[in-house]
Amino acid sequence: MSHSDSRASITILGGGIIGLNVALVLAERGYGPSITVIAEYLPGDTSVRYTSPWAGCNFSAISGTDTNALRWDRLGYAHLAKLATEQPRESFVRRTESIEYWDENIPHDKIKSMADYLEDFKVLPQEDLPEGAKFGVAFTTLTVNAPAHIQYLQCRLRDEYGVRFIRQKLPGLQAAFSNPTTKVVFNCTGNAARTLPGVEDPKCYPTRGQVVLTRAPNVTKNIMRHGKDYETYIIPRPFSNGNVILGGYMQKGNGDDSTYGYETEDILQRTTHLHPQLREQTFEVLSVASGLRPSREGGARVEKDEILVDGEKRSVVHNYGAGGTGFQAGYGMALDSVRCAEDLLRHVPKSELRAKL
Ligand SMILES: Cc1cc2nc3c(=O)[nH]c(=O)nc-3n(C[C@H](O)[C@H](O)[C@H](O)COP(=O)(O)OP(=O)(O)OC[C@H]3O[C@@H](n4cnc5c(N)ncnc54)[C@H](O)[C@@H]3O)c2cc1C
């Protein structure tokens, strides 16, 4: 039985990959015309306060090993694989051969879980590992052209599902309830969750990465090496005319938005050493950027909460703290967020408009 109120609506605060995935899950269930996404930054923008355009971006074993992270990865892989099969060019998601090496701290639980579902998964024999590496796996990953993928999501949400986008910086979470018809707010504010009034989560912190965007069309393979004090990766960017992202760093607690020449040199040295295809021919450096992964002690926060707005209890679903995994885990996190809000969503009208994927 539906208890829907024809005016009830949904607000999503944040237009990064996390907010866009929540909008997608809700829109796929028919709520598109009832959704408003409010964000200071939207796809197409660049800012150090907007992490999503800076992602590499691939599916990898760097995520956590708690049950949530394992489940989100599995759901995210299935989601991205579907996009890569059904609309690779439109969504800028592609299947890519991948290798990951570990020098130490081999995440056995993660590997065991991933071995179940990753396409073409195999453990590499010791003789195939580079010097100093203790363990390695090969599988088919999904690579994502991050800035183009978020633009694809925004267009699809707006044009196929009727989602509204409003560019606005809110002074606090309470302001997301300014429309009296709002039944629930999804808080997808990334790094801002640490300071945004109404959230102010002290567990949040940035993890800085510097990346070098290059043009190296001969590079077809994704390679990552996880070291004790370094993270080296080479990710060919899908449907980008041969661009490749070279990285990088995982600098916990570092919120510096500058880029450094010595880090660029270090990245170029490590990546050319690791990837044979980068040594085959010279390549052009196009730009250097730094991005801040919205990290959180204990992992991402996906849960329902209540806050007081003008003395009244209002419902919010938090969904932030994706760290270095917003693209691979975002769809699974969105499914959990929407599940948290199921009782509230019964009041929100559904539309017949349901785009087919
Ligand atoms: C170098 C680098 C490499 C990465 N590589 C990968 C990878 O390979 N794979 C992967 O899965 N992930 C990767 N990531 C991580 C991924 O980019 C993040 O997990 C993801 O972008 C986080 O998305 P988000 O939506 O939480 O945050 P954001 O993209 O930062 O979005 C936050 C949104 O909230 C809005 N907002 C905040 N406060 C307010 C306010 N007061 N009013 C209005 N709007 C507000 C912002 O404007 C923005 O729209 C990488 C990140 C970096 C930096």
Average pLDDT, rounded, for the chain: 95
pLDDT at 357 over 80: no
What separation in Å is there between the alpha carbon of 322 and the centre of ligand 1? 8
In the reported structure, the alpha carbon of residue 53 is separated from the centroid of ligand 1 by a whole-number distance in angstroms of: 8
Average of pLDDT values for 90-115?
94
CA of 44 from ligand 1 middle (Å) equals: 13
51 annotated ligand binder: yes
Q: Is the minimum distance from the CB of 53 to ligand 1 under 6 angstroms?
A: no
Does residue 350 have a pLDDT over 50?
A: yes
For the purposes of burial, counting CB atoms within 10 Å of the CB of 210, is it exposed (0-12), middle (13-18) or buried (19 or more)? buried
Tell me what the mean pLDDT of segment 168-183 comes to.
Answer: 96
Cα of 299 vs centre of ligand 1, distance in Å, is 15
Q: What is the pLDDT of residue 325?
A: 97
Which residue's CA is minimally distant from atom 19 of ligand 1? 326
Residue 233 is labelled as binding a ligand: yes
**Does the CB atom of residue 233 touch ligand 1 within 6 A?**
no
Partners of 319 in beta bridges: 302
Residue nearest to atom 35 of ligand 1 (CA): 14
Structure token digits, residue 251 = 């600098």
**E runs forming strands in the chain:** 9-13, 35-39, 93-102, 122-123, 135-144, 164-167, 182-187, 204-215, 222-226, 231-236, 243-247, 251-252, 284-296, 301-309, 312-320
Q: Is the CB of 249 under 6 A from ligand 1?
A: no
pLDDT in tens, 191-243: 999 999 999 999 999 999 999 999 999 999 999 999 988 999 999 999 999 99
CA dihedral sign of residues 285, 151, 235, 56: positive
The angle subtended at Cα 227 by Cα 226 and Cα 231, nearest 5°, is: 55
| Ligand 1 in reach of 147 Cβ (< 6 A) | no
**pLDDT(122) > 50:** yes
What's the 135 CA to ligand 1 centre distance in angstroms? 30
Q: Binding residue per annotation — 189?
A: yes
Is residue 206 within 6 Å of ligand 1 at its C-beta? no
Can you say how many angstroms the Cα of residue 19 is from the centroid of all Cα atoms in its chain? 10
Checking if the pLDDT of 356 tops 50, the result is no
Does the C-beta of 198 come closer than 6 Å to ligand 1? no
Mean pLDDT across 141-156:
98
Q: Please indicate if the annotation marks 226 as binding a ligand.
A: yes
Question: Which stretch of 86-90, 148-152, 225-229, 243-247 has the lowest confidence by average pLDDT?
Answer: 225-229
Closest residue by Cα to atom 21, ligand 1, is: 52
User: How much distance in Å is there from the Cα of 320 to the middle of ligand 1?
Assistant: 9
Pocket of ligand 1 contains residue 57 by CB under 6 Å: yes
> Residue 114 C-alpha to ligand 1 middle, in angstroms?
24
Phi/psi of residue 195, each to 5°? -120, -15
pLDDT tens digit sequence for 296-322: 999 999 999 999 999 999 999 999 999
Domains, the chain, with CATH or none: 1-57+145-203+297-357 (3.40.50.720)
Q: Does the pLDDT at position 7 exceed 50? A: yes
Residue with tokens 């990953």: 141
